[in-house]
Structure 1
Amino acid sequence: MSDVRPLVIIPTWNEAGHIEAILREIVRDYPQVDVLVVDASSEDGTGRIVERLAKDFPQIHIIYQKEPGKFGEALRMGFKYALEHDYDPVITMDGDQSHSPCYIKDFLQASHKYDLVIGSRYIDGVRVEGWRFRKLLVSKLANMFVSYILVKPIWDFTSGFRCYRRRFLEKINIDEIYNEAYIAQIQLLHLAYQSHFRVKEIPFIYRGTPLAFSKVSQHTRRKTLRYVFKFRAPWWEIFRHLVYLKREYERFVDEYDEFVNPPELKNEGRFEVKDFYEISVGVMAYNEEKNIAKCLYALQRQKLKSGRIKEILVVSSGSTDRTDAIVQQFAQKDARIRLIRQARRMGKASAINEFLKRASGDIVVLESADTIAHEHTVEELIKPFRHPEVGMVGAHPVPVNRKNSFVGFCVHKLWELHHHMALQSPKCGEMVAFRNIVTRIPRYTAVDEAAIEAIISKAGLKLAYASRALVTNKGPETFGDFFKQRRRIASGHRHLKALIGYEVTTLKTSKILKLVWQLQRWTPRETLFMFLLILVEAFARFMGLLDFYIRDKNPFIWDISVTTKDVYILDE
């Protein structure tokens, strides 16, 4: 990291027997790294040793705090010093040689991608030397307790061997860091997740001694256990997390880590605003022999002025019917069309990631194979990208279901509400376009468009709605399929909101009910159907909540509703 000046902060209190060896190792192995010792008025001459070494090594600095026992104050002083002197990143480590400087290179490397890097004693097993079993057991159990109260996929909450990026320190209120060591470490981790900074644990070996004296009092340890609840997750989240005591915890860690540590953007999120765009279209398919030909034919006949379709990549996710054969027939006649096979069905998000790996256009368009784009749809999707603040555009889905049945009424009413809601607050679905800056989406999400919305919004870009970009789809025709779909979507949205705090506009009940009142046609039949739809939707959302919190069910691979296939295009 030649373009930045790293700083190592070492809080000390009576470390005369260790500090010189640590400092000499750092200046020898890391000449590009500065060191700041924050000494708590040590009585054993620690400060004098550091002052002597600072005369020989200009990269060593020392400041003093007035009294010992306030680890948080040492962090506050060190962080402020780092910000005032333009250091980035900032590493904190102990001064008793339990944290070896040999790991500094690992922190610097990880800080390229992560805003908070934690040196972990417990990830992938126990990595502690020199502790008695009782001390090790208490430490491990305490960290497990914190994990289940905060609901964060971290193995070592109290480790002081860490690396912070400057942008994280600038975001938080440094003056509010608690004085107690363990509370401060937990608080900083909580703040990182709360602000959606990227967090990563890396392993290191903690080298203690059986007779080492802990500077953390028993009173502070008890106080820490009480203060943990200040940073607790919602009680429903805690309950859900406790379910994992009987399940595969590693899956939870993998899933959570993927959501809270979003992927890096392509080209660091930079893009060029053009008058004419190259477009990559991705079609996600699973057993779509009834509709894939219609879908591809509709894409071939798109009329464009703002760009050209460079490639059409069909990702067939474990299809067992004639889908692959039909796509290959199209590919033989149109060089833009390519088939990407997934050997087994792994969910739509996984298929989208396969497409994103290969998409080379300026703009990427995602479409499900059970939809049909009207001939001007892609053009209408591309137009808003003339504005540099727009990052993602949603199409206008139009269902083909008959309206005379209750399920048909429900399908049309929901998409009607979606349309009017999107006119006020853009909500993307069925067919979307976005700037090609997204490397991947979370593979565990069941609401892929909403996950992309979250990534684009986090990048500081706006969503747009192209009301004239019509795409024909077909909703469920049976009540069972309809309820199953609504329940799956409710669970997926709950999953997205709980883990990364992103809420789609259609979850805002008050706005939806206001639109219902404005759009409702008060005939006896439609009034009855609307009342029943509200009950069904409310129950589906309730069951989706239970699926997420109680059953630990995240339907990122969902059962196909066969009644949604065989779409036909409506007249424009």
Structure 2
Amino acid sequence: MAEAETADVDRARGPGRVVVVIPTYDEAANLAWIVGRLRRAQPGVDVLVVDDNSPDGTGDIADALAAEDAQVHVLHRTGKGGLGAAYLAGFAWALAAGYDVVGEMDADGSHQPEQLHRLLDAVRSADLVIGSRWVPGGSVVNWPRRREVLSRGGNLYVRLLLGIDVHDATAGYRVFRREALEKIDLASVRSTGYVFQTDLVTRCLRAGMVVREVPIEFIERVRGESKMSRQVALESLERITLWGLRERWEQAQARRRNRR
């Protein structure tokens, strides 16, 4: 059987070994709650908590959960290094441990574990699946109108500037096949903040991989403080603008060389 046909058969059988990476910083009020929901919703899925030395004791809670459940693992980092850096550490751990599919999920309950099956079903025919707020069937709960406008507008800006056909490139509920993470060269990723999400989906598309979006209901956190701020959002847009302008410049230079 050809290699491509073998891969198709493997995908039809199921996603294989799955781990969901949950980065945490000061999520003591939410961690046990969200991990419990995830383990009930998907008993076959493992969990990796990546804690950035939370001062509120989140890391200790994670250790207690892992001591009670062999499918819960903990990776402790020495300090708060940003969302992207935490995910990169988690991805490296998951790949070394031999997982076939690696997921991302927030610890605050905004991503519902009960909807993870939608992403896992879709990853049978994709390299990256995004739980999207902005495709038909997707929605947000408890968001002020201005925040929805900002998110929709930011994602439209990303689509137009980077030339990618993804409606929710900033979304953090997603699953990757291990082959996708291996192909995009994680060692070269320098994004550490929320722009990390856009960075990775763009890399997947540029590498010719299949990216799918499935609708989810996103629920604003009800406990703890959000890590997203106006400053973080503006910083992400600035980075995306620089990428887009650089790419347009490189494309123009390539066209000039081809005309010579």
Q: Name the TM-score, length of structure 1 as normaliser.
A: 0.40
5+ residue gaps, structure 2: 1-12, 252-257
Q: 2:30, 2:224 → 1: CA distance?
A: 13
The residue correspondences of 1:488-567 to structure 2 (distance < 5 A) are: none
Residue 49 of structure 1, CA deviation: 1.3
Q: Which amino acid aligns with 2:248?
A: P
Distance 2:159 2:225 in 1: 26
Partner of 1:143 in structure 2? 155
The 5-angstrom pairing of residues 238-257 of structure 1 reads none
Residue 23 of structure 2 aligns with which residue?
11
- For 2:216 and 2:32, how far apart are their aligned partners in 1? 22
Alignment of 1:228-307 (within 5 A): 228-232=240-244, 234=248
Q: Residues of 1 paired with 2:154 and 2:222: CA distance?
A: 19
**Contact in 2 for aligned 1:131/1:210 (Cα 8 Å):** no
Q: CA 1:81/1:101 → structure 2, altered by over 3 Å: closer, same or farther?
A: same
Q: Is the 8 A contact 1:36 1:62 kept in 2?
A: yes
Deviates more, 1:107-116 or 1:175-184: 175-184
Corresponding residue number in structure 1 for 2:207: 195
Offset from partner CA, 1:293-346 (integer Å, 9 cap, x none): xxxxxxxxxxxxxxxxxxxxxxxxxxxxxxxxxxxxxxxxxxxxxxxxxxxxxx
Instruction: Give the counterpart of 1:164 among 148, 167, 176.
Output: 176
CA distance in 2, matches of 1:125, 1:213: 27
What does residue 72 of structure 2 align with?
60
1:174 aligned partner:
186
Distance 1:75 1:196, change over 3 A: same
**SS state at 1:117 partner:** strand
Q: Which amino acid aligns with 2:96?
A: E
CA 1:220 to 1:195, structure 2 compared with 1: closer, same or farther past 3 Å? same
Tell me the alpha carbon deviations over residues 202-259 of structure 1, each in whole angstroms, 9 at most, x when there is no partner: 0100000589733134333222212113432537x9xxxxxxxxxxxxxxxxxxxxxx
1:140 aligns to what SS in structure 2? Answer: helix
Indicate the SS of the match to 1:96. Answer: coil
- C-alpha distance in structure 2 between counterparts of 1:203 and 1:81, whole Å: 28
Contact 2:14 2:124 in 1 (8 A): no
Q: Which residue of 2 aligns with 1:290?
A: none
CA contact (8 A) 1:180 1:220 kept: no
Distance in 2 between residues matched to 1:86 and 1:138, nearest whole Å: 38
**Whole-angstrom distance in 1 between the partners of 2:70 and 2:198:** 33
1:2–1:143 Cα change, 3 Å: closer
Note the C-alpha offset of 1:509: 7.9
Aligned partners of 1:132 and 1:210 also within 8 Å:
no
Alignment partner of 1:223 is 2:235: yes
Query: How far apart, in 1, do the equivalents of 2:232 and 2:120 lie?
Result: 31
**1:127 Cα deviation after fit:** 0.5
1:74 corresponds to which of 64, 73, 86: 86
- Counterpart residue type for residue 213 of structure 1: E
**Residue number in structure 1 paired with 2:100:** 88
CA distance in 2, matches of 1:20, 1:110: 27
Kindly state the Cα deviation for residue 182 of structure 1 after the two structures are TM-superposed: 2.5
1:124 is aligned to 2:136: yes
Note the C-alpha offset of 1:51: 1.1
Task: Identify which of 94, 119, 144 aligns with 1:107.
Answer: 119
3-state SS in 2 of match to 1:38: strand
Q: Secondary structure at the match of 1:55?
A: helix
Aligned partner of residue 124 in structure 2, secondary structure:
coil
Gap change, CA 1:80 and 1:228, over 3 Å in 2? same
Question: Post-superposition shift, 1:79?
Answer: 0.7
Alignment correspondent of 1:97? 109
SS across alignment from 1:216: coil
| Distance 1:209-1:94 versus aligned 2 partners, 3 A rule | closer
State the number of aligned residues.
240
Q: Alignment partner for residue 60 of structure 2, among 33, 41, 48? A: 48
What stretches of structure 1 of length at least 5 have no aligned partner? 238-507, 511-572
Structure 1 residues 2 and 57: alpha-carbon distance in aligned structure 2, compared to 1, 3 A threshold = farther
> Residues 516-548 of structure 1, C-alpha deviation per residue, up to 9 Å, x if partnerless?
xxxxxxxxxxxxxxxxxxxxxxxxxxxxxxxxx
Counterpart position of 1:327: none
Larger Rg: 1
Distance between the aligned counterparts of 1:147 and 1:89, measured in 2?
A: 26
Query: After the TM superposition, which parts of structure 1 deviate over 6 Å for at least 4 consecutive aligned residues?
Result: none
Q: Distance in 2 between matches of 1:115 and 1:144?
A: 23
TM-score normalized by the length of structure 2:
0.85
